Amino acid sequence: MKLRIYYEDTDCGGVVYYANYLKFCERARSELFFQKGLSPHKDNEFFVVKSVTADYVKSAVFGDIIEVKTNLIEKKSASIIMYQEIFRNDELLFKATFKLAFLKDFKPSKIPLEFFEIFK
């Protein structure tokens, strides 16, 4: 998924604020569902981030076009692990591994099969 960096994404120096990289990754994960005509939030069923390990490699700045790439690393019945990278052209800016838990009525639950299809 490609995004442009706007002023609102940056700090006073025009550099992307560190927490926004996590937001860009979240947006890309949601977009996987939207592209298939689904929603990442269905009734009382949804994913939550259980843990994240992030590495900030280089900075994006105001006006850049970045691309978020998402890969499924591991899937279990009630959780998944995803690896995401953010690039400016071919230059790696950020990488992170996310463990997502699936909840139904705010309790861990088995991930519906239709959701696994999204990650193929």
At residue 36, the pLDDT reads: 86
**CA 54 to chain CA mean position, Å:** 12
The reply to whether 43 belongs to the active site is no
CA 82 to chain centroid: 8
Instruction: Single out the catalytic residue among 9, 11, 64, 105.
Output: 11
Distance in angstroms (rounded) separating the CA atoms of residues 39 and 36: 9
Q: Are 1 and 67 a contacting pair, CB within 8 Å?
A: yes
For the segment 29-50, what is each residue's pLDDT rounded down to a tens digit? 999 989 988 888 888 999 999 9
Q: Is the pTM of this model over 0.85?
A: yes
Q: Report residues of the chain scoring pLDDT below 70.
A: 120
